Amino acid sequence: MTELCLYQTVHVARGRARNVAAHAALLDAASRALFGRSYAPDPARLAARIEALAAAERYPAGVSGFVRLELTPEGGERLLAAGISLYDGYALRSLSPAAVTLRYDPLCPEAPTSAREAAELLAARLAALRGAAAAVRCDAEERLLTADGAPLFAVRGHTVYTAPAPASVEGCLAREAVRAAGLTLREEPLRRRELPRAEELFYADHRGITALSRCDGQPLMTLVAERVAEALEGLFPKK
């Protein structure tokens, strides 16, 4: 049986771990709610441990890497190497997957648990059976919520729409990047019937911005997603 855990994936750019305090705060809130115990590491020391693991794994200095942080119900903590990126920092990924909409709800609370992760893997499998590489989650009211488990953003003109999604470090950063790019952000989800009016769909996770090439057969653009990705990385000036 797979062990239940909470998790976050930390982005390490040029040897420095990003957003560690925010990731720890999200895990603390989820751990208090689900496990009945706090998680309050010193952010600087946790960042140093993450960076040490990345160095021990010989992550290349010219591209980003990822470290997975897991918490168990008993209070155990694990740091696991989670691979490297093709890019230096947050970026608009060159991969633009096709997606399909699927109506489903995780069985557990909207927290970053391994159970929710398993539900997303199952959704991805169902999407693959329909010839798509990504699943866009809808709820009972046909609202578009997430893509591959990450906060989803829809573009119409100069306005970016997004649902009040589960807590996400990169989702919050993407909202900030949307505003930094000079766009209007509306905390309002697009509905499935409104898909034909969407010009772009993209999502934000620890890797950066992923733009969808199409959803339910509708072709989509990537112009605004590229602007948002540039603004997202601009929140972290190179030193």
148 and 33 belong to one structural domain: no
Token code pair at residue 167: 């807590």
pLDDT score, position 1: 47
Domains contained in the chain, number: 2
Q: Is 70 within a domain? A: yes
Angle at Cα 185 formed by Cα 210 and Cα 111, nearest 5°?
A: 60
CATH of the domain at 179: 3.20.10.10
- The sign of the CA dihedral 78, 79, 83, 87 is positive
Can you tell me the distance from the alpha carbon of 57 to that of 49, in angstroms, rounded to the nearest whole number? 12
Token code pair at residue 228: 């948002």
pTM score, two decimals? 0.95
CATH of the domain at 74: 3.30.470.10
Residues 6+ apart with CB under 8 A from 55: 15
Token code pair at residue 48: 């140093």
Angle at Cα 184 formed by Cα 180 and Cα 189, nearest 5°?
A: 120
DSSP per residue, 39-108: ----HHHHHHHHHHHHHHTT--TTS-EEEEEEE-TTS-EEEEEEEE-SSSSSEE-S---EEEEEE---SS
Q: Which residue has the tokens 């603390």?
A: 28
Torsions phi, psi for 35 (to 5 deg): -110, -10
127-143 tens-digit pLDDT: 999 999 999 999 999 99
Token code pair at residue 190: 């697009």
Alpha-carbon distances, residue 237 vs 64, 201, 228 (angstroms): 14, 26, 15
Reading the chain (239 residues) residue by residue, the pLDDT tens digits are 468 999 999 999 999 999 999 999 999 999 999 999 999 999 999 999 999 999 999 999 899 999 999 999 999 999 999 999 999 999 999 999 999 999 988 766 778 999 999 999 999 999 999 999 999 999 999 999 999 999 999 999 999 999 986 689 999 999 999 999 999 999 999 999 999 999 999 999 999 999 999 999 999 999 999 999 999 999 998 76
pLDDT score, position 238: 78
3-state DSSP call for residue 235? coil
206 and 113 belong to one structural domain: yes
74-123 tens-digit pLDDT: 999 999 999 999 999 999 999 999 999 999 887 667 789 999 999 999 99
Token code pair at residue 177: 């990047």
200 and 99 belong to one structural domain: yes
Mean pLDDT of the chain: 94
45 and 123 belong to one structural domain: no
